[in-house]
Structure 1
Amino acid sequence: MAARGEFSSRTAFVLAASGSAIGLGNIWGFPIKVASNGGGAFVFTYIILTFLLAYPILMAELVIGRYAKADTVRSVAAVSSSAFRPLAFMTGYWGMLTASLILSFYAIVAGWMIAHGVGAAAQIIGVSDSWLVSESITRSVLFSAVFYVLTIGIVANGVASGIEKWSTRLMPVLILLIVALIVYIAMQPGAAEGWKVYLQPDFSKVLEPGLVMDALSQAFFSLSLGVGTMMVYGSYISKTENLPKLGATVAGMDIGIAVLAGMLVIPAMYVAQHNGVVIYDEAGNLIESGRLIFNVLPSLFDTMGGAGSMVALVFFALMSIAALTSSISMLEVPVAYATDSRSMNRKKAAWVVGMAIFAFSVVIVLNASWLFDWVVRIATEFSEPLVGILFCIFVGWIWRRDQLLTELKQGSPHLERTLFWKIWPNYVRFVCPLIVVALLIRSFG
């Protein structure tokens, strides 16, 4: 078996794990849900629920991974007794399949982001961008292939030279780009109305079931839970690190980037509306998120004159970076299995697994009219929550409590006396599975 890598520092892990969590769901999905659910009221609810639901499950994945120092399949098996070993293997493989399914459609969307970015660059130099910003099978396949090459190239170089190296470079760039765009958009006519919507919460909506469930689902999915990415990343954490503090830092970073994204996208929507771009349909509802990113915001950039192409380039570069920091964690899940359990060379594993998932992405593109939405729904609304429940069951019900405590105390000798230990084990045992079941019921309701 090839030697396993390890993150060189706490900062490296936080940036890598935050990069996994901070993807298109934060920068694309979060602001849309904010705008549709009472502005600041949703932000308030989301922050609370991230620590009530997402953080406890995040901790479950991290502690399993660090204890076993292995891929998802062997990690879940390591915390189970012989009686539950078949369930453990099923859970590990299921998580790995879910990560691969999500990557298969995520890479297509990321390819569109790259294409729009290249289109903006083409406009800057005076070249037509019509093909780059128009839907076509060729464009989708070509640019998703470009995205896969970037993702595979990073994962193939391992933990320190690949994932850590690029996460610690890309995350600061991502934050700088968000801040730069926030400053620019804030100075445009109409932005003040967006800031008002975002920062003035309508607390009468806080207890509305739709808002609460949207906030719960955003908290769960934005942290990449239920697919094993955090479990694999946890396996690369040193035994000397304080896991509860690391997990809280990652959750906090995820919240922070989501809030920043809202400060960018929501004012931008109202700048677009001020400039004559339609952002609400005839019924008064915000238009769906895909059209918002690929139609409304480009229309906004077109109204900005000479600066519009540069703003578009920066925006789609930001979206592409966010997608890449997430995709490397998704690909790492099956690659870790290939290197750990199948003793494959990492570079070979990355390219073989990556190309296999890319092949399925091509199938999705060729059958996009029905297959794209089907894969999204199966992976995110069904598979991801169910795997998340199983992770909670293994930590809360199957793993021996003394072994769990011993693992957590390695980086925090006094953990047994902390509020975390007094609450978390039973919370992840009883409360988290019930909340995720509620999300499942809502998805199929």
Structure 2
Amino acid sequence: MASREQFSSKTGFVMAAAGSAIGLGNIWGFPTQTASNGGAAFVLVYFVLAFCLAYPALMAELIIGRHARANVMTALRGISTGKFTYRLGTAVGCYGVITASLILSFYAIVAGWMLAFLLESVCQILGWSDVSKWLVSFSFERNIIFMALFMMLTISIIAKGVTGGIEKWSTRLMPLLIVILVGLIIYVLIQDGASEGLRVYLLPEFSQINPRLIIDAMGQAFFSLSLGVGTMLIYGSYLSEEESLPALGAAVTLVDAGIAFIAGLLIIPAIYVAKQYGAEIFTDAGQLIAGPDLIFQVLPVLFKSMGSVGMVVGLAFFVLMSIASLTSSISMLEVPVSLAAEETAASRVQATWAIGAIIFCISTLILLNFDALFGFVIDLTTVYSQPILGVLLCIFVGWIWHRDNLLAEIKKGHPEIQGGFFWKVWPTYVRFFCPVLIMTAFIQSVV
């Protein structure tokens, strides 16, 4: 096997890891959960839990990854202490790879919708009304064409490796994402109705803090960092031993939470601006519309109401969503590709195309049985599998891996860590509190 690639800089790693974390769910999931859970009160609880829960779990993945310098299965086997834990590492590694692949299989479908709406915005500007109608229609032909296009983009980046693919494109796409996001925020905030959205988003009602809000914020903090399926473990395996893992983990958590907050500054005011133009923004239960209905029904009403300017704003928005999709998808594909490239005779390029083809087939199967499979696969992976995997990874770090070996790995790049606050708190925290908190969120979400 060839020498293992590494990220060439701290910035490259932070951009790649943040890109993995900042996806479609973060752009529309965080803002709408915020509006449905007490506005600014939810934001405050989310930021606290991002560092109290998500950051410690993120550190577990990064430390295992850099120590093993291997795919998720090999990494967990490497810190095992006997036959049972070795087999457990194999099972957890397989589980993570399968989960990441299934997440990408439905994610590619949704990302394909983003590409279709992006192209529809272009067609609107060019006056191609018939093509525009087809692009926004829900049909098998449209869905499979754009899902395939999105998979081709993802595969082409992953096939080029870490520095030439993941790092290169993450450092290009993430700044572009931020620029578009800030530009859209400035535009939306000067529209009528935006101030109402800002009040919902920024003025806290602490009386609304309740167990359900805390559980929702906990789940959002955990899932938004792509934890549990091994993506951060893989990215950690490409880090230099000279880097301080606690500092890098904190930077990724801060960037992810910060961009989630910034996304809320766009989405929440934009929803209330759309309300001014006649869009229905609440469900029958009185909650703010979330998910695909928000992106594909509420916001297009806003864009169309703006006339010719709205076409440009809509184009910029779906460029933003497409970039967010791509930076997340490349990390998901890297999980199974790293396993195939390191554990079989296949080259990286061969492994990437083979795994990409398999995921394309799964996505096609979902499209052929959309009503039965789409929601099922989402629940199976994000509601059930990710929390369980997160707990298992915490168990490996807290209970199976020897404490001295764990300390030795963290001291690389941070020699004075043993006497600091992090080492005094984190090992016990990830051993006891993280599994309990994650399982609490899991049980509540299932119930």
User: Which TM-score band (shorter chain)?
Assistant: over 0.9
The partner residue of 1:331 within 333, 349, 354 is 333
Aligned residue number for residue 137 of structure 1? 140
Q: Which residue of 2 aligns with 1:104?
A: 105
Alignment of structure 1 residues 45-60 onto 2, 5 Å: 45-60=45-60
Distance across 2 between alignment mates of 1:341 and 1:278: 52
Map of 2:13 onto structure 1: 13
CA-to-partner distance for each residue in 1:124-156, whole Å, 9 max, x for gaps? Answer: 011121010111111111101010000000000
Q: Quote the offset at 1:439 in angstroms.
A: 1.6
Q: How far has the Cα of 1:344 moved from its partner?
A: 1.8
After superposition, the Cα gap between the structure-2 partners of 1:343 and 1:235, relative to the gap in structure 1 and judged at 3 Å, is farther
Per-residue CA deviation, residues 27-51 of structure 1 (Å, 9 max, x unaligned), is 0100110111111111000000001
Residue 165 in 1 paired to residue 131 in 2? no
2:421 paired with 1:414? no
Q: Residue 6 of structure 2 contacts residue 238 of structure 2 at CA under 8 Å; is this kept in 1? A: yes
Please list every run of 5 or more consecutive structure 1 residues that lacks an aligned counterpart in the other structure: none
Query: What is the 5 A alignment of 1:4-403?
Result: 4-83=4-83, 84-128=85-129, 129-206=132-209, 208-403=210-405
Question: Are the counterparts in 1 of residues 28 and 290 from structure 2 also a CA contact under 8 Å?
Answer: no
Is the 2:32–2:289 Cα contact (8 Å) retained in structure 1? no
Q: Residues 39 and 202 of structure 2 are in contact (CA less than 8 Å); yes or no, is this contact kept in structure 1?
A: yes
Task: Say which SS state the counterpart of residue 135 (structure 2) adopts.
Answer: coil
Percent identity over the alignment? 55
Shift of residue 276, structure 1, vs aligned partner? 1.3
1:281 positional shift: 2.9
Contact 2:58 2:232 in 1 (8 A): yes
Once the two structures are TM-superposed, the CA of residue 408 in structure 1 deviates from its matched residue by 0.4
Show CA shifts across 1:197-232 (max 9, x none).
1110111112x1111111011001000000000000
* Cα displacement (A) at 1:437: 0.9
Per-residue deviation, residues 227-262 of structure 1 (Å, max 9, x unmatched): 000000000000010000000000000001100100
Deviation at 1:402, TM superposition (A): 0.3
Q: 2: CA distance between counterparts of 1:424 and 1:126?
A: 58
* Shift, 1:272, TM fit: 0.4
Residue 288 of structure 1 deviates from its aligned partner by 3.7
Please state whether the residue corresponding to 1:70 is helix, strand or coil: coil
Deviation at 1:280, TM superposition (A): 1.1
Where 1:139 maps in the other structure, the secondary structure is: helix
* Alignment CA distance shift 1:130-1:160 (3 Å): same
Q: C-alpha separation between the residues in 2 aligned to 1:316 and 1:263?
A: 17
- 8 A contact 2:111–2:150 mirrored in 1: yes
Q: Give CA deviations for 1:286-325 in whole Å, capped at 9, x if unaligned.
A: 2242211110001111101111111111001100100100
What amino acid maps onto 1:296 in structure 2? V
Distance 2:32 2:323 in 1: 20
Note the C-alpha offset of 1:444.
1.9
Distance across 2 between alignment mates of 1:252 and 1:288 = 24
What amino acid does structure 1 have at the position aligned with 2:138? Answer: E
- Asked if the contact 2:29/2:290 (under 8 Å) is kept, the reply is no
Matches of 2:180 and 2:74, distance apart in 1? 39
Quote the Cα distance in structure 1 between the aligned partners of 2:193 and 2:363: 39
Q: Tell me how far apart the structure 2 counterparts of residues 275 and 251 of structure 1 sit (CA, whole Å).
A: 36
For the residues of structure 1 that align with 2:309 and 2:412, how far apart are their CA atoms? 53
Runs of 4+ in 1 over 4 A off after TM superposition: none
Secondary structure of the residue aligned to 2:278 is coil
For residues 29 and 52 of structure 1, the distance between their equivalents in structure 2, rounded to whole angstroms, comes to 20
Amino acid at match of 2:372: W
CA distance in structure 1 between the partners assigned to 2:86 and 2:2 by the alignment: 24
State the alpha-carbon separation in 2 of the partners of residues 282 and 244 from structure 1: 45
Contact in 2 for aligned 1:100/1:330 (Cα 8 Å): yes
Report the CA distance between 1:110 and its aligned residue.
Answer: 0.4
Provide the C-alpha distance between the structure 2 equivalents of 1:285 and 1:234, rounded to a whole number of angstroms.
Answer: 39
Provide the C-alpha distance between the structure 1 equivalents of 2:151 and 2:114, rounded to a whole number of angstroms: 13
Q: Which amino acid aligns with 1:253?
A: V
Q: Provide TM-score, normalisation by structure 2.
A: 0.98
Report the Cα distance in structure 1 between the residues aligned to 2:303 and 2:26, rounded to whole angstroms: 21
How many Å separate the matches in 2 of 1:73 and 1:210?
35
CA distance in 2, matches of 1:309, 1:294: 14
- Please give the alpha-carbon distance, in whole angstroms, between the structure 2 residues aligned to 1:232 and 1:416: 25
Q: 1:362-385: CA deviations, max 9, x gaps?
A: 000110101000000000111111
Mean Cα deviation higher: 363-372 or 280-289: 280-289
RMSD of aligned Cα (Å): 0.8
**Within 2, Cα distance between the matches of 1:2 and 1:144?**
32
Q: Is the Cα contact below 8 Å between 2:66 and 2:241 reproduced in 1?
A: yes
Match of 1:241, SS state, is coil
Give the deviation of 1:343 after TM superposition.
Answer: 3.6
Q: Do the aligned partners of 1:2 and 1:345 also contact (CA within 8 Å) in 2?
A: no
Match of 2:436 among 434, 437, 442: 434
Equivalent residue pairs, number = 444
Cα distance in 2 for residues equivalent to 1:218 and 1:70: 28
Task: State the Cα distance separating 1:282 from its structure 2 match.
Answer: 3.9
Q: Is the 8 Å Cα contact of residues 277 and 301 (structure 2) preserved in structure 1? A: no
